[in-house]
């Protein structure tokens, strides 16, 4: 059963998805082109006894989100490129201290202040490696208004399940796209809450994990003694620099994502199984690419599209499988070449990898993707 059809903007879909997932705290600072997320949550959260705070800057916003999450509340923030850069230190703290949280990043032209009102996909690599060190993170890349809603819910579910920061990453064109959507009715989709500690208080170790690699969180007020730090720590929560302990802790942080790839990874395929030319794209560039692929098929060209929905961890095995049967792999993206680095790493030598780049503040157009597909088809 679904709710009634409604006309919805991408950024508003993000806000409504967050509330539906159980988000009850938002801290943020207005920044184009993500400000509608904060604007809508400032209205929606009070209706469900939630809290909205406009902070003095992006650094404080991320810190407030972590504090609320450690206090037991599902929490998020929203930003764009320059603000996302400022959030990186506390995002790293969230990864190491295993604080569940969601960050929506609506990409705009950069670097620096760049082009605040123009679309970009320049934060692909920053979303994975923006904070320093080896750290776990999940990044979801929706490509439609309805998918923004559903993937925001999923972002909270993954964050809670694996105690990891999750980034919902989409470009300005998706954020400001208005579409007619059929949203799922409340109670018809899964909402996951974090695993709470329920064992003996004595001898409790806040970072002792079971077979799933995810330690249960102590609920505030339940009497568990904890120590939370951004320093590398052992299972007790207290700092360590003992090489064997550091290796064990870091390995667990990374493995809790790797061992659950079957749950985390999502992708979409369009005409891929016999594709001679495989297109790999996300966001608005993927929407343009899908139209180009279908037009190419009408012209007898065996083109296909692989669209990562889970951008990080990247769907490595699926790309390897599809690229093994392709002569060409084309990567349209709205930057000078970021997604292509991951694609090149995973493709066999038999497949030639080409980029199609825009960084002029305009969205990728189906016609330019189709022209490139036709060019590659004649090689």
CATH architecture of 6-181: 3-Layer(aba) Sandwich (3.40)
- Helix 145-162 to helix 10-21 angle (10° resolution) is 30
Instruction: Copy the structure tokens of residue 75.
Output: 């929490």
CB atoms within 10 A of CB 347: 23
Q: What is the pTM of this model?
A: 0.96
In the predicted model, what is the mean pLDDT of the chain? 96
Reference 272, options 242, 293, 247, 249; nearest CA is 293
pLDDT average, residue stretch 2-10: 79
Rg, the chain, Cα only: 21
Reference 221, options 49, 48, 70, 101; nearest CA is 70
For residue 254, give every residue at least 6 positions away whose Cβ sits within 8 Å of its Cβ, in sequence order, or none: 134, 136
Query: What φ, ψ does residue 280 adopt, rounded to 5°?
Result: -125, 120
Please report the pLDDT score of residue 1 as a whole number.
40
Q: Compute the distance between CA of residue 270 and CA of residue 314 in angstroms, rounded to an integer.
A: 18
Give yes or no for residue 65 having a pLDDT over 50: yes
Q: Which CATH number fits domain 268-377: 3.40.1160.10, 3.40.50.920, 3.30.365.10, 3.40.50.300?
A: 3.40.50.920
Name residue, tokens 């292509």: 340
Give yes or no for residue 192 having a pLDDT over 80: yes
Task: Tell the burial category of 262 from Cβ atoms under 10 Å away from its Cβ (0-12, 13-18, 19+).
Answer: exposed
What is the location of CATH 3.40.50.920 in the chain?
268-377
349-378 burial, b at 16+ Cβ within 10 Å, e below that, comes to: eebebbbbbbbeeebbbbeebbebbbebbe
pLDDT average, residue stretch 120-148: 97
27, 134, 174, 181 from 105: Cα distances, Å: 14, 21, 11, 22
Give yes or no for residue 345 having a pLDDT over 60: yes
Q: Compute the distance between CA of residue 316 and CA of residue 119 in angstroms, rounded to an integer.
A: 27
pLDDT average, residue stretch 302-312: 98
Reference 168, options 159, 176, 178, 180; nearest CA is 159
What is the location of CATH 3.40.50.970 in the chain?
6-181
Please report the pLDDT score of residue 2 as a whole number.
46
**Residue 241, by phi and psi: left (phi above 0), alpha (psi -120 to 50) or beta?**
alpha
Please report the pLDDT score of residue 4 as a whole number.
62
Please report the pLDDT score of residue 163 as a whole number.
98
Question: Sorting pLDDT into bands at 50, 70 and 90, what band is 320?
Answer: very high
Angle made by CA atoms 89, 91, 96, in degrees to the nearest 5: 100
Please report the pLDDT score of residue 186 as a whole number.
83
Please report the pLDDT score of residue 97 as a whole number.
98
Q: Reduce the DSSP state of residue 303 to 3 states and report it.
A: strand
């Amino acid at each position: 059963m679904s709710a009634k059809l409604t006309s919805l903007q991408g950024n508003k879909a993000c806000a409504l998805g967050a509330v539906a997932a159980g988000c009850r705290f938002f801290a943020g600072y207005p920044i184009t082109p993500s400000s509608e997320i904060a604007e809508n949550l400032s209205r929606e959260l009070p209706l469900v006894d939630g809290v909205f705070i406009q902070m003095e800057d992006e650094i404080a916003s991320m810190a407030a989100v972590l504090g609320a999450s450690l206090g037991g509340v599902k929490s998020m923030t929203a930003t764009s490129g320059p603000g996302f850069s400022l959030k990186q230190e506390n995002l790293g703290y969230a990864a190491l201290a295993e604080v569940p949280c969601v960050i929506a990043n609506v990409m705009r032209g950069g670097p620096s202040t760049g082009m605040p009102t123009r679309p970009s996909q320049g934060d692909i690599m920053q979303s994975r490696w923006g904070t320093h060190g080896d750290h776990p993170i999940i990044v979801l890349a929706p490509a439609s208004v309805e998918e923004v809603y559903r993937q925001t819910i999923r972002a909270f579910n993954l964050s809670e399940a694996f105690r990891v920061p999750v980034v919902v990453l989409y470009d300005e064109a998706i954020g400001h796209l208005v579409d007619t959507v059929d949203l799922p009715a409340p109670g018809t989709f899964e909402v996951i809450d974090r695993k709470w500690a329920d064992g003996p208080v004595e001898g409790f170790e806040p970072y002792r994990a079971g077979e799933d690699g995810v330690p249960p969180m102590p609920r505030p007020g339940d009497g568990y003694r904890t120590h939370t730090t951004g320093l590398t720590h052992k299972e007790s929560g207290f700092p360590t620099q003992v090489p064997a302990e550091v290796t064990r802790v870091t390995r667990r942080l990374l493995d809790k994502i790797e061992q659950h790839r079957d749950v985390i990874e999502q992708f979409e395929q369009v005409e891929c199984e016999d594709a001679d030319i495989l297109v790999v794209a996300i966001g608005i560039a993927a929407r343009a690419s899908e139209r180009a692929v279908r037009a190419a098929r009408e012209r007898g060209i065996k083109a296909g599209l692989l669209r990562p929905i889970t951008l990080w961890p990247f769907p490595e095995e699926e790309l390897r499988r599809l690229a093994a049967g392709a002569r060409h792999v084309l990567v349209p993206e709205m930057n000078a070449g970021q997604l292509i680095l991951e694609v090149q790493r995973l493709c066999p030598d038999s497949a030639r990898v080409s980029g199609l780049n825009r960084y002029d503040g305009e969205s990728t157009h189906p016609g330019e993707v189709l022209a490139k597909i036709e060019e590659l088809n004649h090689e």
